[in-house]
């Protein structure tokens, strides 16, 4: 399977602990996105990378959140000092937009299965 993968799929933690999630995008995609989704809502944008550069961050991404994509391949999202309000599904997506040779000008993003975080 060459789709987007995320690990772990589920994470239960106690308030105040740090957690880290990993995303492996589709290999030829140079753009990687993080979104957060709460129950009954659509995903909300958190941040995105083009290769290793983090180009945009949402105001939702407080100082406790940090994302990296050190070699332009996989990415990690870390949440420090977790709070109950951080409980959500964290989704990663990748896109081929901007890669030379890709057809079309669209921004179709391909999502992973998500990491469900529960903060007790």
Partner 1 sequence: SQELEQSPQSLIVQEGKNLTINCTSSKTLYGLYWYKQKYGEGLIFLMMLQKGGEEKSHEKITAKLDEKKQQSSLHITASQPSHAGIYLCGADGQGAQKLVFGQGTRLTINP
Report the residue from 25, 33, 61, 79 that binds partner 1 according to the rule CB under 8 A: 33
Stretch that binds partner 1, among 14-22, 64-72, 76-84, 112-120 (CB under 8 A): 112-120
Q: Which residues in 68-87 contact partner 1 (CB under 8 A)?
A: none
- DSSP secondary structure of the chain: --S-EEE-SEEEE-TT--EEEEEE--TT--EEEEEEE-TTS--EEEEEEETTEEEEE-TTS-TTEEEE-TTSS-EEEEE-S--GGG-EEEEEEEE-TT-TT--SS----EE---EEEEE-
Q: Which residues in 34-63 contact partner 1 (CB under 8 A)?
A: 40-45, 48, 55-56, 58
Q: Is 25 in the site for partner 1 (CB under 8 A)?
A: no
Q: Is 1 in the site for partner 1 (CB under 8 A)?
A: no
């Amino acid at each position: 399977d060459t789709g987007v993968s995320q690990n772990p799929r589920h994470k239960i933690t106690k308030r105040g602990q740090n957690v880290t999630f990993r995303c492996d995008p589709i290999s030829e995609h140079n753009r990687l996105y993080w979104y957060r989704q709460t129950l009954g809502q659509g995903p909300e944008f958190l941040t995105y990378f083009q290769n290793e550069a983090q180009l945009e961050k949402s105001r939702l991404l407080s100082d406790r959140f940090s994302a990296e994509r050190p070699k332009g391949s996989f990415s990690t999202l870390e949440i420090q000092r977790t709070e109950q309000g951080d409980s959500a599904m964290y989704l990663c997506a990748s896109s081929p937009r901007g890669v030379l040779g890709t057809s079309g000008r669209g921004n179709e993003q391909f999502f992973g299965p998500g990491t469900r975080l529960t903060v007790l």
